[in-house]
């Protein structure tokens, strides 16, 4: 089960009240939604979205979420505007977006982790046609290097891409451990002073690329105002600097245009205790705004 990150802090900035309308764009196992529901029911409404069919199916089957006040939708949050229009969902008082993947997905056999041997898939949704294996075995050496650099901020992107190109001529690279081994052999022994596994950044880059994560986030942000009420709150948790920069700059822009007020001058991060109990929270950054 996924442990929700920065739960108390999210509820504090979103401040859900009885009868309010909320949207959880990244429902996962529903950790954040559960707390929000406690505050908005009775009388409130929740739209729960997850792109992963397994997450949406689990939610639909769970007695906790089988309530007339909860609508569960298996879609990409980039289509949020179309979703609310299609189901005639009212304007919301709050939106939570908890980016990245859930603990369940890390164990879903879809190749999100370089610590277990699984097929190189990395798709949140099967509707998405491109898999990580197709990228690794089909893209040019230059395109691979660019992806690793742009979405993973990987310093050794060219060396890694070169090695992948060489190895895949011998045999297609189809599993996580095959790829992780090639990466390990392409970088210096003392990579990042052994603080992180050499495959960390390349795996992040592939996941972001395969799922168009940054584009989805930008589309969501661009449409957000039109689906929220005046006074609506937005909380976004990101897990790496690329996402955080997009959120930070977009929120700043809204404040400059006098459309919103930033509620988190500095991003909220997890307490030492939370990091001890849930290491995934170590890189989490929460930013929030309230619309004017
Ligand atoms: C970190 S988890 C959310 C965990 C959730 N807040 C909880 O407490 O259980 C992120 C979720 O977002 C989903 N997701 C990722 N990209 C998405 C997208 N573009 N549209 C909808 N859901 C997405 C993933 O499938 C995953 O279930």
Residues of the chain with pLDDT under 50: none
The answer as to whether 116 is a domain residue is no
Residues 173 and 194 in one domain: yes
Cβ of 102 below 6 Å from ligand 1? yes
Cβ neighbours around 223 below 10 Å, total: 17
Atom of ligand 1 nearest to the CA of 216: 19
Measured CA to CA, the distance from residue 7 to residue 31 in angstroms comes to 8
Q: Is the pTM of this model over 0.85?
A: yes
Measured CA to CA, the distance from residue 125 to residue 78 in angstroms comes to 13
**pLDDT recorded at residue 224:** 95
CATH (domain of 168): 1.10.150.170
Among left, alpha and beta (phi > 0; psi -120 to 50; other), residue 100 is left
Cβ of 239 below 6 Å from ligand 1? no
Residues 85 and 34 in one domain: yes
Residues 201 and 272 in one domain: no
Residues 26 and 97 in one domain: yes
Encode pLDDT of 144-171 as tens digits.
999 999 999 999 999 999 999 999 999 9
Residues 11 and 77 in one domain: yes
Measured CA to CA, the distance from residue 169 to residue 262 in angstroms comes to 51
Cβ of 51 below 6 Å from ligand 1? yes
Select from 176, 210, 244 the last residue of a domain. Answer: 210
Residues 224 and 100 in one domain: yes
Q: Ligand 1 pocket: which of 7, 10, 24, 28 to mutate (most atoms <8 Å of CB)?
A: 28
Atom of ligand 1 nearest to the CA of 26: 12
E strand residue ranges, the chain: 21-24, 45-49, 70-73, 92-98, 228-238, 260-262, 285-291
CA 24 to centroid of ligand 1, rounded, Å? 9
CA 266 to centroid of ligand 1, rounded, Å? 24
Phi first, then psi, for residue 229 (nearest 5°) are -75, 160
Measured CA to CA, the distance from residue 113 to residue 117 in angstroms comes to 8
Measured CA to CA, the distance from residue 121 to residue 116 in angstroms comes to 13
Residues 98 and 140 in one domain: no
Select from 210, 238, 256 the last residue of a domain. Answer: 210
Select from 181, 210, 239 the last residue of a domain. Answer: 210
The answer as to whether 113 is a domain residue is no
The answer as to whether 268 is a domain residue is yes
Using CB atoms within 10 A of its CB, is residue 120 exposed (0-12), middle (13-18) or buried (19+)? buried
CATH (domain of 28): 3.40.50.150
Cβ of 98 below 6 Å from ligand 1? yes
117, 177 Cβ separation under 8 angstroms: yes
How many domains does the chain contain in total?
Answer: 2
Residues 36 and 79 in one domain: yes
Q: Rg of the chain over CA atoms, in angstroms?
A: 20
Strands 260-262 and 285-291, bridge-based pairing = antiparallel
Two structure tokens written together for 279:
């290491």
Domain residues for the domain of 158 are 129-210
Residues 24 and 165 in one domain: no
Give residues with Cβ within 8 angstroms of 174, minimum separation 6. 119, 120, 133, 137
Atom of ligand 1 nearest to the CA of 4: 8
Atom of ligand 1 nearest to the CA of 31: 8
Residues 99 and 135 in one domain: no
Residues 99 and 134 in one domain: no
CA 163 to centroid of ligand 1, rounded, Å? 33
CA 106 to centroid of ligand 1, rounded, Å? 12
**Residues paired with 237 in a beta bridge:** 98, 286
C-alpha distances (whole Å) from 37 to each of 11, 59, 73, 101, 237 are 11, 14, 17, 22, 19
């Amino acid at each position: 089960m996924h442990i929700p990150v920065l739960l108390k802090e999210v509820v504090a900035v979103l401040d859900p009240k009885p009868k309010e309308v909320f949207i959880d764009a990244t429902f996962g196992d529903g950790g954040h939604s559960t707390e929000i529901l406690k505050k908005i029911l009775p009388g409130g409404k929740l739209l729960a979205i997850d792109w992963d069919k397994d997450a949406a199916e689990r939610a639909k089957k769970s007695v906790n979420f089988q309530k007339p006040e909860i609508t569960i939708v298996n879609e990409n949050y980039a289509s949020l505007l179309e979703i609310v229009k299609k189901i005639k969902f009212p304007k919301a008082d709050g939106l939570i977006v908890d980016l990245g993947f859930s603990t369940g997905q890390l164990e879903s056999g879809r190749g999100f982790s370089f610590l277990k041997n699984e097929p190189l898939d990395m798709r949140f949704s099967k509707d998405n046609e491109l898999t990580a294996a197709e990228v690794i075995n089909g893209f040019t050496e230059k395109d691979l290097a660019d992806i690793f650099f742009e979405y993973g901020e990987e310093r050794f992107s060219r060396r890694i891409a070169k090695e992948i190109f060489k190895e895949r001529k011998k045999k297609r690279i189809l599993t996580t451990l095959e790829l992780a081994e090639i990466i390990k052999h392409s970088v210096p022994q003392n990579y990042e002073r052994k603080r992180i596994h050499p495959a960390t950044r390349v795996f992040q880059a592939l996941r972001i690329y395969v799922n168009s994560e940054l584009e989805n986030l930008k589309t969501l942000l661009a449409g957000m105002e039109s689906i929220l009420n005046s006074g609506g709150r937005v909380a976004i948790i990101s897990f790496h600097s690329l996402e955080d920069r997009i959120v930070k700059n977009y929120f700043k822009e809204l404040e400059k245009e006098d459309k919103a007020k930033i509620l988190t001058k500095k991003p909220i991060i997890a307490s030492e205790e939370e990091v001890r109990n849930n290491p995934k929270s170590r890189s989490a950054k929460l930013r929030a705004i309230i619309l004017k």
